[in-house]
Amino acid sequence: MLKIVKRPEGSHRRETLMRVSAVFFALVASAVIMALLGYNPFLVYAKIVEGSLMSAYRFRETIHKTIPLVVLSLGIAVAFKMKFWNIGAEGQLYMGAFGAALVAYSLPTLPSPLLLAFMMLVGAVFGGLWALIPALLKLKFSTSETLVTLMLNYIAIKWVSYLQYGPWKDPNGIGFPKMAAFSSGAVLPKVFGIHIGWIIALVLVVVIHILLKKSKLGYEIAVLGESDTTARYAGMSVAKITVTAVLISGGLCGLAGMMQASGIERTLNDQLSGGLGFTAVITCWLARLSAPAVVLVSFLFSVLIQGGAYLQSSMKIPSAVAGVLQGIILFFVLGSEFFIQYSVVFQKKKSAGEVHDA
C-alpha cells in the first residue's frame, strides 16, 4: 500500500540536490525515449554539447541565445515575484525591438553611443508600456493578466509582420519581405567577439538581484505577491507598486528585444525571437525567480537550443528533440517539488483499498 507522508522541514541543500537529481532523471528519461526512436542517446547528448560549446563560433551562438534569455527571465521574475503572471515577454520583446527600430530608422546619423542609448531607452519604454496594458486592465477591471499578456504576444508579432510585409518593407529588397538593415551606428559593438549585451545582462542580474532582495520596492513587490489585502493594510499603494513592477518587467523584455534587433539581426523582423519569450518563462521558473540562478539555467537552455539545431544539421535528427528535452526537464523539476514536500512510503497492507491522506 502506498502512502504519502509530509516530509519534515528539509534543508536548503537537500532541496537543491533533489532539483539537480530531477534534471538528471529527466536526461535518463529522455535517453529512453531517444533509444526507442532508434537514436543512440549518448551520441545525441555528445552532439548537443559538441554543437553548442565545442568551437568558438558555436559557443558564441550559444551565448547569443543566453543573453536574451537572461534578460527576459529577469523581467519575468520581477512580475512573477508579484504573482503577476506575465507570459507576454515575447510580445514585449517585439514591441521593444519595434521601438528600437523606430529610433534606428528615424535617426540613423546620430552618433553611435547616443543612438544606441536612445534605442535602449525607447525599446524599454515600448516593452514596458506593452506590459502596462494588462496591468491597467487588471487593476481597473480585474481581468486575468495571464490571458491578456498571452494574447498581446500575437498582436505584437503580427504588428511586426505587418511592418515587414507592408509599410517598412525595404524598397531595395528586390521584392523580399524584409526591412532595411540598421545603419552601422545602430549596431551594438562587440566585446570578445560577442555583442556588448552580455555585459549589460550581467549588470542587470546584479541590479535585479539587489532590487528583489534588498530594496524597499522588492519588499513591496513580494508583499503584494503574497496578498494584496496585506499590502493595502500595510499602507502600500497597490496600483503604484503594480505599475512600477510591470514597467520594469516589460522594460527588461523590451530591452532584450532591442538587443536582439541591434546585436544579432541588425534589423527588425518577425523571426527575431523564435519563442525565446516563452522559453524564458520556463527558465525563470526553473531558476525559482532567483537572478543568479537565471544565468545558469538560461545558459543550460541555450546549450539545448543551440545543440538541438546542430543535431538537425549533423545527425538529421529533428531539432524538436531539444524541445522534447526541455519539456521533460521542466516536467521532472516541477514534479520534484512534490517530492521535496512529501515522501511516498510503503506500508504493510492492512485493508482493502488505498489510503487517501490529506
Classify 320 in phi/psi space as left (phi over 0), alpha (psi -120 to 50) or beta.
alpha
Q: Which is nearer to other proteins, 176 or 219 (CB)?
A: 219
Supply the minimum distance, in Å, between the C-beta of residue 354 and other proteins: 6
For residues 120 and 186, is the Cβ–Cβ distance under 8 A?
no
Please tell me the count of residues contacting other proteins according to CB under 8 A: 33
For residues 103 and 119, is the Cβ–Cβ distance under 8 A?
yes
Q: Which stretch binds other proteins (CB under 8 A): 7-15, 138-146, 151-159, 286-294?
A: 7-15
Supply the minimum distance, in Å, between the C-beta of residue 13 and other proteins: 17
Q: What's the start-to-end Cα distance of the chain, in Å?
A: 16
For residues 99 and 230, is the Cβ–Cβ distance under 8 A?
no
Q: Which stretch binds other proteins (CB under 8 A): 59-67, 121-129, 161-169, 349-357?
A: 349-357
Q: Which is nearer to other proteins, 42 or 233 (CB)?
A: 233
160-187 core/surface letters (b: 16 or more CB in 10 A; e: else): beebbeeebbeeeeeeeebbbebbebbb
Return the residue of 154, 202, 275, 354 that touches other proteins, per CB under 8 A.
Answer: 354
Supply the minimum distance, in Å, between the C-beta of residue 4 and other proteins: 11
Q: Which is nearer to other proteins, 29 or 222 (CB)?
A: 222
- The set of cell numbers assigned to 328 is 521533460
Residues 203-262 that bind other proteins (CB under 8 A): 214-219, 222-223, 226-227, 229-230, 232-237
Supply the minimum distance, in Å, between the C-beta of residue 263 and other proteins: 30
Place of cell 499590502: 231
Return the residue of 2, 9, 38, 316 that touches other proteins, per CB under 8 A.
Answer: 9
Residue 194: beta bridge partners? Answer: 191
Classify 338 in phi/psi space as left (phi over 0), alpha (psi -120 to 50) or beta.
alpha
Name residues whose C-beta falls within 8 Å of residue 62's C-beta, 6 or more positions apart in sequence.
Answer: 52, 53, 299, 302, 303, 306
d(CA 215, CA 136): 24
Supply the minimum distance, in Å, between the C-beta of residue 86 and other proteins: 20
Supply the minimum distance, in Å, between the C-beta of residue 78 and other proteins: 15
Supply the minimum distance, in Å, between the C-beta of residue 279 and other proteins: 27
Supply the minimum distance, in Å, between the C-beta of residue 165 and other proteins: 46
Q: Which is nearer to other proteins, 206 or 234 (CB)?
A: 234
Q: Which is nearer to other proteins, 32 or 344 (CB)?
A: 344
Q: Which is nearer to other proteins, 9 or 38 (CB)?
A: 9
Residue 201: CA count within 13 A, CB half-sphere: 30
Q: Is the dihedral of CA 226, 229, 232, 234 positive or negative?
A: negative
Q: Which is nearer to other proteins, 218 or 251 (CB)?
A: 218
- The set of cell numbers assigned to 243 is 505599475
Q: Which is nearer to other proteins, 313 or 343 (CB)?
A: 343
Return the residue of 2, 36, 174, 358 that touches other proteins, per CB under 8 A.
Answer: 358
Return the residue of 8, 166, 167, 175 that touches other proteins, per CB under 8 A.
Answer: 8
Supply the minimum distance, in Å, between the C-beta of residue 252 and other proteins: 18
Name residues whose C-beta falls within 8 Å of residue 109's C-beta, 6 or more positions apart in sequence.
Answer: 183, 185
DSSP state of 181: P
For other proteins, the binding residues (CB under 8 A) are 3, 5-9, 214-219, 222-223, 226-227, 229-230, 232-237, 350-358
